[in-house]
């Protein structure tokens, strides 16, 4: 489980650079 969360965090960071902050907040809420 811990590794999955780390992978998700890395993916979110990658998305955060490309996507606007609003989209990032939606991803964070889904997590």
SS3 track for the chain: CHHHHHHHHHHHHHHHHHCCHHHHHHHHHHC
pLDDT band at 14 (very low <50, low <70, confident <90, very high): confident
- Cβ atoms of 24 and 15 within 8 Å: the answer is yes
Tell me what pLDDT residue 1 has: 58
Distances (CA, A) of 5 to 15, 21, 30: 15, 20, 13
> In whole angstroms, what is the distance from residue 2 CA to residue 20 CA?
27
Task: Tell me the mean pLDDT in the region 14-21.
Answer: 68
Identify which has the larger pLDDT, 22 or 13: 13
């Amino acid at each position: 489980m811990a590794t999955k969360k780390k992978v998700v965090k890395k993916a979110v960071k990658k998305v955060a650079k490309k996507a606007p902050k609003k989209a990032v907040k939606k991803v964070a809420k889904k997590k």
